[in-house]
Every structure is written in C-alpha cells, then in structure tokens.
Chain A
Amino acid sequence: MMSWPALYTQLVGANRHSTSLGKIWLSVLFIFRVMVLMVAAESVWGDEQADFTCNTLQPGCENVCYDQFFPVSHIRLWCLQLLFVSTPTLLIAMHVAYRNHRDKKRLLQASRRAAFLSSKSQLEQEEELESLKKRKLPIAGSFWWTYAFSILCRLLFEGGFMYVLYVLYDGFRMPRLVRCDQWPCPNLVDCFVSRPTEKTVFTVFMATASSLCMVLNMAELTYLIAKSIQNTLWRESTEIEQ
C-alpha cells in the first residue's frame, strides 16, 4: 500500500505558494481521490482475482483469462495516476527551495557586511531568516514559468492516464461476463467478474473526480496566463505614461 501521508507532507509545503485554485485542487485530490481510493476502492478490488470464476475445471484457465482481461488493475492505474499527477508540484517545491537558498546566502553575506557597520543583533538576523522561510513567493518571472509548466504536466498526465484506462478496458464499464479461449482453456469459456456494478460505480466516480481536477488545472492555467497578460499591459501603460 502506498504511503500517501508521506506524499501529502511533501505537497502541502509547496501548496503555500499556490493560487487559490491550486489549493482547491489539492483538497479535491486528497479527499475525493486518494481517500476514496484508500478507504473504499481497495476493498472493492481486493478480491478481484480470488473471486474471478470461470465455468471450467481446467486448472490454469482462470489465471490465464484473468490476465488477458485485466493486464493492469484499476487500482494500480489510479495509484500511478495520482503519483504522476502529484509529481509536478515537487518541481515547484524545488524551485522555492532553490530561491530560498539563494536569498538566504545573499542575506547572510549582506548581514555579515552590515554587522561591521551597524549593530545588527543576532536576533534580528534570525528573524529575517525566519521571515524568508515563511514568506510566500509571488508567482512572477522564472517561478511563473515553473508553475505553468507544472500545471501543464499535471494536465498531460491526467489526460494520458484517463485515456489509457479508457482504451484498456473499453470504456468505464466493468462487464459482468467475459468470454475467453486462451490456452489452456479447452473451448470458449464464460468467466464472471466479481462485483462488476460496484466497480463500475467507482470507475465512473474516479473518472469524474479526475475530470474535475483537469477542469481546475485548466482554470488555474487560464488564470495565470490572464493575470500575466494583465500585468504586462499594466506595466507597459505605466511605462508609456512615464
């Protein structure tokens, strides 16, 4: 089982520098997807192979048929999807860490110089370092590009995984009966999937949550681009005035 709390602590640190839409996205991700996956979906898919029964006594037929129709289980696909979708946020965290490191070095150098001239106490220095760590980076300049790139990556991963799931399982419905004639099955054999309706419900739910996340990401990207255009125009107009 995945260690989702570890991922959560990583993401929450970078979340401080997100826009409001980014924060909503993180909440939706963890409540509607990770939590549902952990708490509910895993128990629904728990017995997917044990209860996959085929109308034959031929040993090995059930294994082979299960493998043919379920190359990658839904649960594993969703885990991978959530992992990949969360990864771009780490880019943001890395950028923030790099910026903080650079500013901290600059601050220390400046304060060392200033300490000779003025009586800047140790306490003040520490306060400044603390405020540096706690400040929220404005989304501008190179940070804007990192942020936009991360949202784009998220969108691509979401879309990609949804498409793979759709193609692999021929839609979002789980069939009740599958017919299989792989060797060593003697002839065309009926195999029955366990809990097909419940699995369909969950597949549709996860697909909806995934689309919601995609919508949020697209909205965030649009907002970023619009804001940046607005800022550029405003800056140009003030420059023209001057």
Chain B
Amino acid sequence: MSWSFLTRLLDEISNHSTFVGKIWLTVLIVFRIVLTAVGGETIYYDEQSKFVCNTQQPGCENVCYDAFAPLSHVRFWIFQVIMITTPTIMYLGFAMHKIARMDDSEYRVVRNRKSKRMPIVSRGAVRDYEEAEDNGEEDPMIAEEIEPEKPEKPDKGAEKKHDGRRRILRDGLMKVYVCQLLWRSAFEVAFLFGQYIMYGFEVIPSYVCTRSPCPHTVDCFVSRPTEKTIFLLIMYVVSFMCLLLTLLEILHLGIGGIRDSFRRRSAHNARSGSAHPTRAEPTAPPGYHATMKKEKLKRQLRDSPMGDSGRESFGDEGPSSTELERLRRHLKRAQQHLDLAYQIDEGSPSRSSSPEVNTAAQTAAEQNRLNFAQEKHGETSEKGIHA
C-alpha cells in the first residue's frame, strides 16, 4: 500500500522504456521493493528491542545500538530505491511533456500547411495523442484519474505507448533517455559503494562498544545476524543485477544505433547516385528534422518524403516526372482520406491497441497507397512504419 505511489509511476514508465528497460523495471519491483518491504518488516522489526548489551547501565544499549547502526539496512535500501528511480521518473515527466508539445505542433503544422511532410502515416497516432492529451493524460500522476473512467473508454490509456528503442529514437528522446540511464548507473554505483563502506559484507553477531555512559568495554549482541547477512548479500546481488541491466541497456542502444547507421549507409550505398547527406543523427529532435525536411522537400520536389522523421535518409535517386506526379496524386488522396477518417472518427472509441496499429486500422486505405508509393522508393520507409 505504501509503495503504491511509486509503483503506479513505475507502471507508467514501462510504456516509455526499451525492452531491457522493462526487464530492469520488473527486477526492481519484484526483487528490490517487494524484498525490502516484506523482508525488511519481518527481519528487522526487533532490531533494537533485541539488541542486548552485557551491562545493566541504563542508556548503554541505546547508545551502543546507535553506534552500531547509524542508519538501518532497511532505511538505506528504501533511500536507494527512491534515488535510483528518480532519474527515470524525471525522464518520464520530460517525455510526456515533450510528446504532448510535439504532437500539438506537428498537428498544427500539418493542418495549416497541408504539406507533404513525411510522417503522414503517423498522423493518426498524432491525432490519438491529441485526443488523449485533451483528456488530461499528460502526467503519470494524472493518469490515475482515468482509472475510474476506464470502463467508458478502455483504449485511451493504451494509446500512450512510447516504448521500444525505435519509438524513443523517433520522438527525439534518445539523448535524454541515455542521460537518464547514465545517472541511474552512477547512483547505483554510489549506493553500492556506500553500502560496502557502511555495512561491509557481513553482519557481525557481537559488537564491542565503548561509548559513554557504558562504564567500560561492553559486548553487545545483534539479533538475527545470519539472516541479516544473507539478506544483505541478496540485496548486493540484486543491486549488481540492476546495474548490469542498466549497462546492458546502454550497450543495446549503442549497438542498435550503430547497426542502424550501418544499415542506412549500406542502403544509401546500394542506391547511391546522389550526393545527399544521410540523416545520421538519431538523437536530433523532431523539430530539427521537420525544418530540414521542409527545406529538402522544397529543394527536391518531394521526391522522397517517406523517411522516418528521426532516422532515415531521404531517397536518393531522382525519380522521373511521371512517378512524381503519381506520387503527388497518391499523397493528396491519402491526405483526403485521413481528414475524412479523422472527422468520422472524432467521437467513436478506437480499438485498444498500440498507436501504430490504431493508425493502420483507421487509415488502412491511405496506408495501402502510401505503402505502394514507398515500396517504389525502397524499404527504409517501411521500417519507419513498423517501428
């Protein structure tokens, strides 16, 4: 019950993490929070009442216990969990804020200019988020109030998925995500080190104390030392595991990024002909690419608008004018379909699935046309849709 404030937020975080991030989250909740709450209660409840010193001097036990345990294990672990989840929670707040703003500006631009900007495919997702945003789902703490209304609209909550490496990349959140991961590892290392300095690897069964008012050197005896030692070692292992998972996630993002850039480069080389710069910056915010895209589009007559906003290069070959014409017609038709679909779909509840699937469901016809157009320009754009 008392941990529910944190666990509610952590549930929301799982919608904004990569696959490894979700594993980390599960390990955190199951192994650390549950262990601390349950084990802490049962093992440490009598840590002071059963801390017995070999003296009748009143007050000696109090001061010796205080010298033995300035900060109890359980409290240390609670601080540790809170501090380690703090960077992730801050990322969540930032991501939701950015997504809300990004969807707002993208939607407005698309509406006003009717440009042939790329992610026409994900405009459906943009609309969904706008609707969801209007319902006040900007903040994880706010998401709570959606719960009582859940039976009426079961899918609004599920539309808010921004998980997976590619999605995070596309939304321009990669830099902040990696930064958050680095902070998390730093805190983890710091706490592991602190735990070693303060507690070592073992809970000694007997503690020698010389503080006043103890009359002389006094032996004090700790309650359940073996059980506490085992628990301490388990928490060490779990902390290491979480640290490893965080480092693994950083590696996974790094390798994925390298792999993507290689793929892009090989695709670029395969179709190479033009001297067009590849978009090799996965971490640039969507706004940057929107501006770049507009300029490129003006220059290249929208010959390859099918790039993913964060990752893909614009098409390389210059298509013939007939193809251009066909493409333009397709895009125009797709846009009309989308507008129509949005108007019809304003009030009706959408199916409970991820935004990508929702988009596909709502704009199936335009997708077909777009796919056709995209296939003509290679597979890189396909990846953008399926990411």
Using a CB–CB cutoff of 8 Å, the interface residues on chain A facing chain B are 4-5, 8-9, 12-13, 15-16, 20, 23-24, 26-27, 30-32, 34-36, 38-40, 43-44, 47, 50-51, 53-56, 123, 127, 131, 134-136, 176-177, 190-198, 201-202, 205
B63 touches A176 (CB 8 A): yes
Q: How far is the CA of A90 from the CA of B5 in the complex (A)?
A: 19
Chain B positions 83-142 with a Cβ under 8 Å from a chain A Cβ: 86, 89, 93, 97, 134-136, 138-142
Contacts of B49 in A (CB 8 A): 47, 50-51
The distance from the CB of A159 to the nearest CB of chain B, in whole angstroms, is: 25
Contact of B2 among A38, A56, A134 (CB under 8 A): A38
The distance from the CB of A89 to the nearest CB of chain B, in whole angstroms, is: 12
A20 touches B58 (CB 8 A): no
Contacts of A39 in B (CB 8 A): 2-3, 37, 78
A9 touches B347 (CB 8 A): no
Whether, in the assembled complex, B4 has its beta carbon less than 8 Å from a beta carbon of chain A, the answer is yes
Q: How far is the CA of A193 from the CA of B61 in the complex (A)?
A: 10
B82 touches A134 (CB 8 A): no
Interface centre among A38, A44, A134, A198 (most CB of B within 10 A): A198
Contact of A5 among B1, B78, B347 (CB under 8 A): B1
Q: How far is the CA of A34 from the CA of B5 in the complex (A)?
A: 9
Contact of A53 among B37, B45, B59, B86 (CB under 8 A): B59
Q: How far is the CA of A123 from the CA of B144 in the complex (A)?
A: 27
B71 touches A23 (CB 8 A): no
State whether A194 and B93 are in contact (beta carbons under 8 Å apart), knowing that A34-B5, A53-B62, A201-B71 are contacts in the complex: no
Contact of B78 among A16, A30, A40, A55 (CB under 8 A): A40
Task: Known A-B contacts: A51-B49, A51-B62. Give 17 more (CB < 8 A).
Answer: A16-B142, A23-B93, A23-B139, A23-B141, A24-B93, A31-B9, A34-B5, A36-B82, A43-B75, A44-B72, A123-B347, A176-B63, A190-B213, A191-B59, A197-B71, A198-B70, A198-B72
Whether, in the assembled complex, B292 has its beta carbon less than 8 Å from a beta carbon of chain A, the answer is no
A5 touches B4 (CB 8 A): yes
Q: Which residue of B lies closest to A196 (CB)?
A: B66
The distance from the CB of B104 to the nearest CB of chain A, in whole angstroms, is: 13
Q: How far is the CA of A198 from the CA of B48 in the complex (A)?
A: 12
Contacts of B145 in A (CB 8 A): 9, 12-13, 16
A53 touches B93 (CB 8 A): no
Q: How far is the CA of A202 from the CA of B74 in the complex (A)?
A: 13
The distance from the CB of B349 to the nearest CB of chain A, in whole angstroms, is: 12
The distance from the CB of A213 to the nearest CB of chain B, in whole angstroms, is: 15
Q: How far is the CA of A38 from the CA of B5 in the complex (A)?
A: 11
Whether, in the assembled complex, B69 has its beta carbon less than 8 Å from a beta carbon of chain A, the answer is yes
The distance from the CB of B152 to the nearest CB of chain A, in whole angstroms, is: 9
Q: How far is the CA of A127 from the CA of B74 in the complex (A)?
A: 51
Contacts of B138 in A (CB 8 A): 23
Contacts of B69 in A (CB 8 A): 198
B74 touches A40 (CB 8 A): yes
Contacts of B86 in A (CB 8 A): 31
Q: Which residue of B lies closest to A191 (CB)?
A: B59
State whether A53 and B58 are in contact (beta carbons under 8 Å apart), knowing that A30-B5, A38-B2, A39-B2 are contacts in the complex: yes
A-B contact pairs, 9 of them (CB 8 A): A12-B145, A16-B142, A36-B82, A39-B3, A51-B49, A176-B66, A190-B58, A190-B59, A194-B62
Report B47-78 CB contacts with A as 1/0, cut-off 8 Å: 01100000001110111011001111011001
Contacts of B61 in A (CB 8 A): 53
Contact of B89 among A13, A31, A53, A192 (CB under 8 A): A31
> Top 7 closest A-B pairs, CB basis?
A192-B59, A197-B70, A192-B62, A38-B2, A16-B136, A55-B58, A30-B5
A36 touches B347 (CB 8 A): no
Contacts of B364 in A (CB 8 A): none
B62 touches A26 (CB 8 A): no
Whether, in the assembled complex, B6 has its beta carbon less than 8 Å from a beta carbon of chain A, the answer is yes
State whether A8 and B66 are in contact (beta carbons under 8 Å apart), knowing that A53-B58, A54-B58, A192-B59 are contacts in the complex: no
Q: How far is the CA of A240 from the CA of B68 in the complex (A)?
A: 73
Q: Which residue of A lies closest to B93 (CB)?
A: A24
Report B1-28 CB contacts with A as 1/0, cut-off 8 Å: 1111110010000000000000000000
B134 touches A134 (CB 8 A): yes
Chain B positions 219-270 with a Cβ under 8 Å from a chain A Cβ: none
Q: How far is the CA of A53 from the CA of B65 in the complex (A)?
A: 13
B71 touches A20 (CB 8 A): no
Contact of B48 among A5, A8, A131, A194 (CB under 8 A): A194
The distance from the CB of B42 to the nearest CB of chain A, in whole angstroms, is: 12
Q: How far is the CA of A15 from the CA of B48 in the complex (A)?
A: 41
Q: How far is the CA of A168 from the CA of B3 in the complex (A)?
A: 31
B62 touches A15 (CB 8 A): no
Interface centre among A5, A39, A54 (most CB of B within 10 A): A39
A31 touches B6 (CB 8 A): yes
The distance from the CB of A116 to the nearest CB of chain B, in whole angstroms, is: 24
The distance from the CB of B143 to the nearest CB of chain A, in whole angstroms, is: 9
Q: Which residue of A lies closest to B92 (CB)?
A: A27
Contacts of B144 in A (CB 8 A): 8-9, 12
The distance from the CB of A201 to the nearest CB of chain B, in whole angstroms, is: 6
Q: How far is the CA of A44 from the CA of B73 in the complex (A)?
A: 12
Q: How far is the CA of A27 from the CA of B66 in the complex (A)?
A: 33
State whether A195 and B93 are in contact (beta carbons under 8 Å apart), knowing that A5-B4, A38-B2 are contacts in the complex: no
The distance from the CB of A18 to the nearest CB of chain B, in whole angstroms, is: 9
Report B151-188 CB contacts with A as 1/0, cut-off 8 Å: 00000000000000000000000000000000000000
Q: How far is the CA of A131 from the CA of B347 in the complex (A)?
A: 11
